[in-house]
Each structure stands twice: as C-alpha cells, then as structure tokens.
Structure 1
C-alpha cells in the first residue's frame, strides 16, 4: 500500500496538517520539524498524489512554457532552469515549441490553456502585440520570457539586450578593432535591442555604423549555424571585410567562424568573433567562442518565482518587468588586445 500523509504524521507524532504544510512549502513550520518530515518522506518513499492535490487546491500544479524553437540550446537550457525551480514547489513544466511560427505558437498556447495550466510562460515569436491579446486577457497568469513585445501589457522577464549588444561591441573595440560587423536577426525585441546596443557603442566612439557591415538573418529560413556561415561569406566577399564581428547568437557565431577559416582568415588574429548566449558547448569548440552570458539560470529563477507569485495572488497586480544584466565571457575567438 502506498505511504499516506497519515502514516508520516503517526510515525513522527505530528498532525496531518503539519505534514501537509511541509508538502505545500508553507513557512509556518519550524526548520527542525520540516527536516524531520522531509527525511521521513524520503525514508518511506512517499509519493504525493498530484491529481488529488490539484483537486483539493483547485489547481493543476502545472506551468506551461512556449518557446520559439526547442532545438535552440539556449531555450533548452532555459527550460531546464525553469523546470528545476518549479519542481521545488511541486510544480511540473509542460513544454511546447512554436518552431518559429506565430500560427503554431497561438495553437500551442491554446492547447496549454485548455489543459488548465496555472500559469503560462511565453518566449514569443510574434511581432504584433495584438496577436497575444487573447492569451493575456485570460485569467491565467502570463509572463513573457526573453522576448518582449513592445506595447503589450504583460509581465516580462528577460536579459538587458541593449546592454548585451553594447558590451559585446565595446569588448571588440577594446581589442583595437575598427571595422566591426554585426550578424543579427530580425523581427524580435532581442534582435532589435542587440543591434541598438551595437550602434550605441560605435556612436560613443565616434564611429559611424556602416550599413554594409550589418546583416540580418531570417531565423525561420534555416539552421542558425548555416545562416551565420552564409552571412560571414557575404561579408568576406566584399572589398573591405570586417576585422571583428558581433553575432546575435552563439549558433550564428559558430557558422561565422567556419566561414572565416575557410576563407583563410585567422580567428582571432584577422577577425575577432563574439556571440551571445554563452552556450555550454561554446567553451569546447575548436576555437573557443567568446560570448555574452545572458544569465540563463537567473532568467529561469526569476521567471518561475514570478509565475508562482502570480498563481498565489488573488488579485491582478500591475505588470512587472525584470531585466537580467549580461556579462562578457572572453575566450580564444576574440583573444588579447592588439599592440
């Protein structure tokens, strides 16, 4: 017979209510009692009946997450961070991928809402805030994640992408690079903000932004590494090629490095390259990639905490916005400053 709350309470001579409070993460139980109960749960291999808990609380104990592309390692890392934090509060993460399609995204949002998720996290590929109005108008708490939608009245947790673009470009400028290109994306707040930061850093040094050195990739059209490869080839085929490149993502940067080396350019001696995302694999590439760390673990922690706060709130509060500060991680693809 499965272990019951009553069995744990009897074994420790405490009330069922006290055991239930520990299970639900309540704070009005002493640390000593909480530790005793948790140890006994582990000892007796207690498994809570999630369906019964959901019926009793009126909640599904699930949080939905919609990402643009689950194959993107950044969103996979973000989902892992979210799941880990939600599990601590006995919540389960339900994951859906929009495959960078606004129509698929809306379909997945409806599916998760129909499943009765207690909150919805969306890293949206929409470009029009009105497209999400129906989801935001529901009673289910909603948090936009990573990608903001200017004009939408929604909670948001993301990275300060303007700062990311500025810091990446300032790092390349500190290496005495003078023709800095940007291989970006299009249509999202992250792409627009990183491009803005890139331009701000150049303007601060009195360097005019050369339109010929700014390329935007359509992430709907293919693999990011191949898009970065083709973009870099276009830059290198021009008479005056760049001596440094800031890429919108690490995956674009991987392709850019491959193209540069095929053209006989040394990285970083001839061309310094920095990405964005600081994926775990970036440190183990043939040329370890410098990157902007977006604080993926912090994003997951803040987003899950905000979602749980909204679930526990009985009234709708004013939308909140949380921005994580990025940091530069320097590796071999940018190297040391030139003499």
Structure 2
C-alpha cells in the first residue's frame, strides 16, 4: 500500500500540516525537524499524490515552456535555470517546441492551457498577440522571454538587444575591421533590435551601411548552423568580401566559421567572427568563438521569480519588464590586436549582481 502523509505524521508524532510544510521547504519548520522528516520520507520512499494535491490546492504545480527549438543551447540553458528555481518550490517544467512556426506555437499554447498548467513561459516565434491576449483574458500567468510583442503589455525578461548589436559591431571596429557583415535574425524584436545596434555602431564610427553586407535566413533557431554556413558563403562572394561578421546568435556564427575555414580563409586574420549567446562551445571549435553574453541563466531565474510571484498573488500583479545588460566576451575568433580582453560588464550589470533579484534592472 502506498505511504501517505498521514502515515509519516503518525510515525514521527507530528501533524500532517508539519510534514506538508517540511516537504515544501516552508520557513516555519525548524531545520532539525525538517531533516528528520526528509530522512523518514526517503526511508519510506514516499511519493506525493499529485492529483490529490491539485484537487486540494487548485494548482497543477506545472509550468509550461514553449520555445522555437528544444535543441538550441540558449533555450536549453534558460530551461535549466528556470526549472531549478521553480523546482525548489515544488513545480515541474513541461517543454514544447514551436519549430519557429507561429501556428504550431499557438496550438502548443492552447494544449498547455487545456491541461490547466499554473503558468507559461513563451519565446514567441510570431508577431500575433491574439494567443497571448487569450491567455490574459483567461487569467493565465505568463512571461515572454527573449522577444517581445509590440504593443502588448505583459511580463518580459530579456537582454538589451540594441546594446548587443552595438557592442558586437563596435568590438569588430576596434579590431580594425573595415567591411563588417551581419547575419540577421528574423523580423521580431530581437532580430530587429540587434540589427539596429549594428547600424548604430557603424554610423557612430562614420562607416556607411551597405545592404550587400547583410544576409537574412528563413530560420535562425532551427537548423541554424547550416543557415549560418549558407549565409556566410553568400557573403564571401561579395566583392570585396567582408573582413568581419556579426552573427545574430552563436549557432549562426559557428556555421559562418565553418564556411570561412572551408573556403581556405583564416579566422580572425582574414575574417573575424562574433556571435551572441556565449554558449560555451569552445572545446569543440577549431577557433574559440567571441560572443555577447546575453545572461541566459539569469533570464531563467528572473522569469521563475516573476512566475512564482504571479501564481501566489490573489490578484494579477502589474506586468514586469526585466532588461538585462549584455557583456562582451572576447576569444580567438575576433581578436586581431593585442591580448585577449576580459569580459566587459557595464556598471549597471555589476550593480545587478549585488542587488536582490526582484529589484535588478526592472521596469514596471
């Protein structure tokens, strides 16, 4: 017969409420009591009845995450940190991939809503606000990550994408690069803002913007390494060819590096490369990749905090926007001059590391 909370309570001479609080890491329970309860729970191999808990609490203790690709390292890192934070409060994460298809994304959101999940996290692939407005109308807490929807007032956690494009391009300019290409993202907030940062950096340096040096691909989160290689091969046919490229994300940059090396060119001597994500591929790369760190783990953590607060609130809280500062991480793929530079962090970012999570870089 399955072990019940009541059985553990009787065995230890404690109340069912005390056992329940200990299992949820409630601060009311003394550490000695919690340790004794957890040890007995492990001995008896107690498994909570999730359906019964759901009926009592009105919660499923499930959070859904819908992203363009489950294989993309950025979204995997966000999922890992998000799961770690909500897991400490007894929640589990359910994953779904939209494959960069807005229609599939809408179906995944609808299915998760039908399963009565407690909250959703979405990295949207489209620009249609209708599925998200339905979530709001139904009272479903959710957070958008990485990309926003214009005109939609909702929770959002991401990085300053204009700063990403500006920082990456400025670094290449400082390395003496003259013809800097850009492999673009899609026409969403992330792609457009990184492109804008690229153009701003060129303008500030007095460099003319050239459409010939900008290439867009149909997909940037799915099959992105191949897409990056295709884009780079197109750029290498330009006359004169670019001597640097800023790729929308790291997988595109890795594909670009493969195309450069396959063409018999050197990185960074002939073509310097920088991506975005700082996703720790360097052990598998022939040339370590310079990148813009977009704080993927922190995005997951901040998202979890907003969700847990929203779930616990009796009335829907005001939308929260968390914009994190990116930082430059220089490695061999872009360093044409001098020694490797340390990661450049802004004053705002350094302050955020010392500030409690709910106060760091938040706008309401």
The normalised TM-score by structure 1 is: 0.93
Q: d(CA) in 1 for partners of 2:318 and 2:284? A: 43
Larger mean CA deviation between 17-26 and 237-246 belongs to 17-26
Q: 1:35–1:176: structure 2 CA closer, same or farther, 3 Å change rule?
A: farther
Give the SS at the match of 2:139.
Answer: coil
Q: Which residue is 1:153 aligned to?
A: 153
Q: d(CA) in 2 for partners of 1:262 and 1:97? A: 32
Give the SS at the match of 1:134.
Answer: helix
Q: d(CA) in 1 for partners of 2:130 and 2:61? A: 28
Tell whether the 8 Å contact from 1:175 to 1:338 is kept in structure 2 after alignment: no
Shift of 1:281: 2.4
Q: 1:32–1:198: structure 2 CA closer, same or farther, 3 Å change rule?
A: farther
Larger mean CA deviation between 92-101 and 16-25 belongs to 16-25
Q: 1:257–1:295: structure 2 CA closer, same or farther, 3 Å change rule?
A: same
Give the SS at the match of 2:281.
Answer: helix
Larger mean CA deviation between 76-85 and 115-124 belongs to 76-85
Question: Which residues of 2 match residues 78-93 of structure 1 at below 5 A?
Answer: 78-93=78-93
Q: Which residue is 1:216 aligned to?
A: 216
Larger mean CA deviation between 215-224 and 81-90 belongs to 215-224
Q: 1:209–1:39: structure 2 CA closer, same or farther, 3 Å change rule?
A: farther
Q: Which residue is 1:57 aligned to?
A: 57
The normalised TM-score by structure 2 is: 0.87
Shift of 1:85: 2.0
Deviations 1:251-276 (CA, angstroms, capped at 9, x unpaired): 11111111112222100111110111
Question: Which residues of 2 match residues 1-339 of structure 1 at below 5 A?
Answer: 1-219=1-219, 223-337=223-337
Q: 1:283–1:152: structure 2 CA closer, same or farther, 3 Å change rule?
A: farther
Q: d(CA) in 2 for partners of 1:203 and 1:123? A: 31
Tell whether the 8 Å contact from 1:5 to 1:19 is kept in structure 2 after alignment: yes
Larger mean CA deviation between 28-37 and 300-309 belongs to 28-37
Tell whether the 8 Å contact from 2:83 to 2:93 is kept in structure 1 after alignment: yes
Q: d(CA) in 1 for partners of 2:170 and 2:41? A: 53
Q: 1:125–1:16: structure 2 CA closer, same or farther, 3 Å change rule?
A: same
Deviations 1:124-146 (CA, angstroms, capped at 9, x unpaired): 01123345322232211111111
Give the SS at the match of 1:26.
Answer: coil
Please give the root-mean-square deviation of Cα atoms over the aligned residues, in Å.
Answer: 2.1
Q: d(CA) in 1 for partners of 2:171 and 2:2? A: 59
Shift of 1:62: 0.6
Q: 1:158–1:222: structure 2 CA closer, same or farther, 3 Å change rule?
A: closer
Q: d(CA) in 2 for partners of 1:199 and 1:142? A: 33
Q: d(CA) in 2 for partners of 1:131 and 1:42? A: 43
Shift of 1:61: 0.9
Q: d(CA) in 2 for partners of 1:336 and 1:27? A: 54
Shift of 1:165: 1.5
Tell whether the 8 Å contact from 2:99 to 2:222 is kept in structure 1 after alignment: no
Q: d(CA) in 2 for partners of 1:269 and 1:210? A: 22
Tell whether the 8 Å contact from 2:248 to 2:275 is kept in structure 1 after alignment: yes
Q: Which residue is 2:358 aligned to?
A: none
Larger mean CA deviation between 280-289 and 112-121 belongs to 280-289
Give the SS at the match of 1:280.
Answer: coil
Give the SS at the match of 1:322.
Answer: strand
